[in-house]
Amino acid sequence: MYDPNNIFAKILRKELPATCVYEDDHVLAFKDIHPAAPIHVLVITKKAYSSFDDFSACANEQEIVLFWQGVYKTVQALRLSLQGYRLVTNIGTDGGQEVPHLHVHILAGKPLGTKVCV
């Protein structure tokens, strides 16, 4: 199911470059190459899960906690709590997911309104 040749797997293996903004043992967070907002960061798991759906079905509780803690630590590293931000995760075909490796988009840096999607 999981494609180890997806772009984010290559970024994790350092085969492709990325501008890292936060990293720990469980997540890597880096700038989106085509930002949809002034701040647009992707937080990915270091383990091989193809989507939020796959992750939620197969990861254990500790992995799930550590992933979401990594998302929040990225938010803290970017100092976004005061002004606010949006989290998005696209899943599958109808969800518009392009890269089949679990990731959460963090969008921020301006009022996002109701129509910003990625």
Q: How far is the CB of 21 from ligand 5GP (least distance, A)?
A: 11
Give the integer Cα–Cα distance in Å for 50 and 76. 26
Tell me, yes or no, if 34 is annotated catalytic.
no
Q: How far is the CB of 78 from ligand 5GP (least distance, A)?
A: 15
Residue 116 as a binder of ligand 5GP (CB under 6 A): the answer is no
Give the tokens for residue 52: 């939020």
Give residues 12-71 in contact with ligand 5GP (rule: CB under 6 A).
16, 18, 30-34, 42
Residue 78 as a binder of ligand 5GP (CB under 6 A): the answer is no
Give residues 82-111 in contact with ligand 5GP (rule: CB under 6 A).
90, 96-99
Give the integer Cα–Cα distance in Å for 116 and 63. 29
Phi then psi for 108, rounded to 5 degrees? Answer: -165, 180
- Separation in Å, CA 24 to CA 40, 77, 85, 103, 115: 19, 12, 21, 15, 32
Contacts with ligand 5GP, residue ranges (CB under 6 A):
7, 16, 18, 30-34, 42, 90, 96-99, 118
Catalytic residues: 103
